[in-house]
Structure 1
């Protein structure tokens, strides 16, 4: 018997702008139009394709990130997988028990308590009451709403709803976990716990589909990413390469728009010490950050800045050309500037670059892009903390190291046995 998986085969989905079914008077004409037109591929007035021949498969244990601009069709794809929506054409199939968090409070009955909704969601997922009961305390503890578990969920904040929704989806033994951007409503510590839980589920063979604008989280969590833009798949492959393509697509689109600033960022590239474009770098290896810029008039003595943050938001490093006492004079044409880091001492993990162009005093920004360029650091180093410090352990030959248990002497002072 085949393990559970996800199939999205030649899926098209169209909507009608402004379509609402608030009353029977609205619903009947819409239903009649649908019956008359049948499965026509032609678009009527005010109709548009939200998804256009989208295909992908996801294997058990694989984590697929779906990225793209707002309105690209990412959430529509997830709603099709959960059968909230039906495709206009094509086939989408999910095999196995599904845990899903698509929208805040989606699937919750507002008048039922948190406890009752846990059992309701478990029943919808096909679990027996005894199975849900075994998981109940773990779900409530993870969500952090113990004192409110017997309160109707309509009294919950959006964060409480999201925490309970994720806890249910991730703890009721799903074969497939579908998560939308809704996790962004949680606090930083809860988001960190969610990512840890998703890592554990993936390691146990659970299939994961993760929609997010948090590119650093996608790079950290997923082993594959699909870029959807204007309803079409533009890229399907390694997350770092998908993110790079996302940046290329959006920067090309922005290039056709007039820039408000007299000098603005035109793109960022990351190279290794051999000049090769990279999305992952080894601890201690060389790194070059190339900042491209465009100008509309001469700019006197601007400064360029780069900040590095870890995936959990920890500020790792920041520098700019003013701190380096670098006078760039007047810039009157398009170009680029390189920040060269001979030895990147960061420990393994996911990081992001923020880049900016500042005024003469490095105070007022001409243009800034925050956390816009994610990258990862890999290493065999097993040290803890943030950076890898070059070090050795030295033991004098005449006094070999001896490690002994600790005992207490008669005055209760701790001493090491020699």
Structure 2
């Protein structure tokens, strides 16, 4: 039995505009519609490639997407930044309408797209549980029956009668996920908001999502950059690239296709207005790169210079940028923060951060950076996954040859005493 079907769905945005655009464009669209003609602006526009400047003011965030999802499936939606994953979830959640195409759903949908979505800041946690349940179409009796279970899972019992505007982002996510997962919707849609929670809670959430699909037969759509979590939870996958569906099938095959097509891109440089760079209303990334300190390529013995240039829109806060390096097998290498401002003195301007990964540190292999911009090292302002990656080669033993196990390969100064 089908739970969800997408039929030729596309989503077009006009850069720098709120709504459909100018009055002349709206009138032109209306005139074509009255005459039974196709919308003239559907014929223009470019793929949503954030790394290039582009000529058109229209971009296709998604283009001609078709797929079917069976009831009880756990579907992992993967792709690089800007591939269209979050846009697809918004369309499926009916937060926004597709420019073209139709979406058919069977049953109620619960969505967890962004931290605090659907929460009223002035209302208490208790009131927001009932509000969210009502939005999802649940009766008060149904919500009351599940209430204790929701609060227990979220771990915010002590603050349940406190206005949620006083919650940390982690508490927001805990309660929002608990509501979405426990209320009896047929389809659960989860974006990568779980990245805000701690490791223990993420594990708890993945366990609950597994119970939802395997035990309760509900359908889950899950966006994540964590391939280990996707592999554990999902049975089918959808791979997006620049707004187009490039693969749909078994989850292991989908991950292989993703890794095969994810060319190692060690440089991101934005050209054009700051507002169109990778980021959100808080942070925009202008440049992020990994370059060899010596020679033409990154090698075990070359050392690596990491450069980050970004624009900060939030003045008067303690701003930090956390660099998390991982292998392509999702093994964490390190997680460290650069404190940009420490006395609530951040400014609305461009910042530059540089550091060096010394030679004889990383083993040969493929790596990528996750960037987390935060306030007071606890409130996330923007998270960028897979913005850049790089390959460390082992020139002495042949290109891309990792002959020794391990993530690091330090050159140690051994003191040997033969006596």
| In 1: Cα distance, 2:129 partner to 2:4 partner | 25
Match of 1:43 in 2: 44
Structure 2 counterpart SS, 1:225: strand
Rate the CA distance shift 1:359–1:141 in 2: closer, same or farther, 3 A: closer
Distance 2:109 2:149 in 1: 19
Task: Determine if the alignment matches structure 1 residue 20 to structure 2 residue 79.
Answer: no
SS of corresponding position for 1:331? helix
- Name the CA distance, whole Å, in 2 between partners of 1:265 and 1:214: 26
Deviation at 1:174, TM superposition (A): 1.7
- In structure 2, relative to structure 1, the CA distance for the partners of 1:168 and 1:334 (3 Å cut) is same
**Among residues 172, 176, 179, which one is paired with 2:183 in the alignment?**
172
**Which range is displaced more, 236-245 or 95-104?**
236-245
Alignment of 1:303-382 (within 5 A): 304=363, 331=396, 334-338=399-403, 355=407, 358=409, 360-361=411-412
| Superposed displacement of residue 188, structure 1 | 1.1
SS, match of residue 106 in structure 1: coil
User: Which ranges of structure 2 fall in alignment gaps of 5 or more residues?
Assistant: 34-38, 46-55, 270-288, 301-328, 330-358, 367-392, 414-419
Once residues 120 and 20 of structure 1 are traced to their aligned partners in structure 2, the CA distance between those partners, rounded to angstroms, is 28
Corresponding residue for residue 91 of structure 2: 80
> Secondary structure of 1:236's match?
strand
- Indicate which of 242, 260, 264 corresponds to 1:248: 260
Q: Aligned in 2, Cα 1:176/1:265: closer, same or farther, shift over 3 Å? A: farther
Q: CA RMSD in A?
A: 3.4
The superposition leaves residues 87-124 of structure 1 with CA deviations (integer Å, 9 ceiling, x where unpaired) of 01111122112111011111112222111111111111
> How many corresponding residue pairs?
291
Matched, 1:221 2:233: yes
CA drift at 1:240? 2.2
TM-score with structure 2 setting the length: 0.62
Equivalence map 1:7-156=2 (5 Å): 7-20=5-18, 31-32=26-27, 34-36=29-31, 39-40=39-40, 41-43=42-44, 45-156=56-167
**What secondary structure is seen at the aligned counterpart in 2 of 1:5?**
strand
Q: Could you say which residue in structure 1 is the equivalent of 2:51?
A: none
- Is the Cα contact below 8 Å between 1:109 and 1:117 reproduced in 2? yes
Aligned equivalents of 2:211, 2:74: Cα separation in 1: 12
> What SS does structure 2 have at the residue aligned with 1:14?
strand
Q: Which residue of 1 aligns with 2:251?
A: 239
Which region of structure 1 is more displaced relative to structure 2, 231-240 or 59-68? 231-240
Distance 1:81 1:236 in 2: 17
Report if aligned partners of 1:219, 1:240 keep a CA contact under 8 Å in 2. yes
8 Å Cα contact 2:76-2:251 kept in structure 1: yes
Q: State the structure with more CA Rg.
A: 1
Map Cα deviations across residues 349-373 of structure 1 (whole Å, 9 max, x no partner): xxxxx845x56449xxxxxxxxxxx
